[in-house]
Amino acid sequence: MTRHRLAISSDLAAIAALAKAGTPYPWSEHQYRGSLEAGHAVWLAEDETGLLAVAVILNAAGEAELLDIVVSPACRRAGLATCLLQQVIQHLKQAGATRMLLEVRQSNAPAQALYAHLGFRSCGVRKQYYPSANGLREDAILMEKQLG
């Protein structure tokens, strides 16, 4: 059974290992530590086998931003990100957030579909925002969801 909880400092090595396995441009353990120390909510999805997903959320002045999300490659397309983000959104609403923002690679159609399914809509583009493997840059699609 999958459980959701907030990360603590002893989770950082496992989070960084998941990020390294799950994305071509992973955050470092230092970056996750910085998020924890800055007061960002670092949400985990785990089961008896270990860590399955992580989502980092900044919530300030009624606005939340999804800073990072990674799902274990072995668990993708199984609804794990949907469940984790639904839990995050519920907590954000309870905390008084009225809007949630995120950015996603233009080439990441599965993530865009997930966010649209959760009620996010496209609200802009950041040109040449992300690095890419070929040395060029890739646009970020900006998305938002009203929570209030």
d(CA 46, CA 1): 8
> Going by DSSP bridges, is the β-strand pair 41-47/3-6 parallel, antiparallel, or unpaired?
antiparallel
Closest CA to 148 of 104, 89, 69, 60: 89
Q: Which residues are catalytic?
A: 103, 115
